[in-house]
């Protein structure tokens, strides 16, 4: 029994195939109306009795589950980096705005409540960056990186939500209005906690890895 079979005893044997757009029975579904990521088209793919030649098999027959998990490990570093980018952009916008917006005769970045939000954002972004770089470093060196990729994805996607929500707060009423970019950052951040495995799934992966390595 392989490591993956031990970890996922209920898994079914899957195989991955390459399909061509022209194949009979294949259809692209309607564009989904999404909360965020509106510049990226998201559609379901419909397969009805599509006949696929056996030469289109990708990888080994029956090993598609493992291949998919490995693909997800790689993708999670990308989502972590993407989340970090959203967090950094929202933080920079909030930092700039807090020096321009004046209330009670001074820039709002003189108020401790705002300064503490900025301090937390900057500190957590630094933590997130280290997690992304560490996962990428291990991957580049050909070392195992499943746990680190999940940690980077989990932390940075939740970081993106925290930072973008605080950025909206620092912008006050303007934060909620589409003339300013921060409400979009908040909407774009949310899907990072869902796609490529939800935060709940990342916690399962991390727990599996740490418990497996402690036994």
Cα separations in angstroms, 160 against 55, 56, 154, 213: 42, 39, 10, 29
Of 8-16, 79-87, 107-115, 194-202, the window that binds ligand FAD (rule: CB under 6 A) is 194-202
Catalytic residue among 196, 200, 209, 215: 196
Q: Are 98 and 201 in contact (CB under 8 A)?
A: no
- 68 binds ligand FAD per the rule CB under 6 A: no
- 200 binds ligand FAD per the rule CB under 6 A: yes
- 44 binds ligand FAD per the rule CB under 6 A: no
Long-range contacts (CB closer than 8 Å, 24 or more residues apart) made by 27-35: 34/191, 35/187, 35/190, 35/191
Tokens of 174: 């303007």
Classify residue 203 as left (phi > 0), alpha (psi -120 to 50) or beta. alpha
Q: What is the CA radius of gyration of the chain?
A: 22
Residue among 118 and 201 whose Cβ is closer to ligand FAD: 201
Residue among 17, 37, 111, 133 that touches ligand FAD (CB under 6 A): 37
Of 2-10, 34-42, 98-106, 124-132, the window that binds ligand FAD (rule: CB under 6 A) is 34-42
Entry field: residues in the chain: 215
**Shortest Cβ 145–ligand FAD spacing (Å):** 20
Is 55 annotated as catalytic? no
- 92 binds ligand FAD per the rule CB under 6 A: no
Residue among 17, 118, 195, 208 that touches ligand FAD (CB under 6 A): 195
**Shortest Cβ 61–ligand FAD spacing (Å):** 21
Residue among 92 and 200 whose Cβ is closer to ligand FAD: 200
CA distance 152 to 193: 12
Q: Are 46 and 86 in contact (CB under 8 A)?
A: no
Positions annotated as catalytic residues are 196
Contacts with ligand FAD by CB under 6 A lie at: 34, 37, 42, 191, 194-195, 197-198, 200-201
């Amino acid at each position: 029994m392989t490591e993956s079979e031990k970890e996922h005893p209920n898994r079914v044997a899957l195989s991955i195939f390459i399909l061509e757009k022209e194949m009979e029975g294949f259809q692209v579904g309607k564009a989904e109306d999404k909360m965020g990521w509106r510049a990226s088209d998201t559609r379901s793919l419909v397969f009805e009795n599509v006949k696929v030649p056996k030469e289109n098999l990708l990888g080994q027959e029956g090993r598609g589950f493992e291949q998919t998990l490995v693909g997800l490990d790689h993708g999670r570093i990308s989502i972590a980096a993407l989340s970090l980018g959203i967090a950094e952009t929202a933080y920079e916008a909030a930092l700039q705005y807090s020096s321009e917006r004046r209330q009670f005769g001074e820039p709002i970045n003189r108020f401790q409540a705002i300064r503490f939000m900025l301090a937390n954002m900057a500190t957590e972004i630094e933590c997130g960056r280290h997690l992304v770089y560490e996962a990428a470093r291990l991957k580049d060196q050909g070392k195992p990186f499943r746990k680190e990729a999940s940690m980077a994805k989990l932390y940075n996607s939740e970081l993106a939500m925290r930072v973008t929500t605080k950025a909206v707060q620092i912008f006050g009423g303007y934060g909620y209005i589409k003339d300013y970019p921060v409400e979009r950052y908040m909407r774009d951040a949310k899907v990072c906690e869902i796609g490529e495995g939800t935060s709940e799934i990342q916690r399962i992966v991390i727990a599996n890895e740490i418990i497996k390595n402690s036994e």
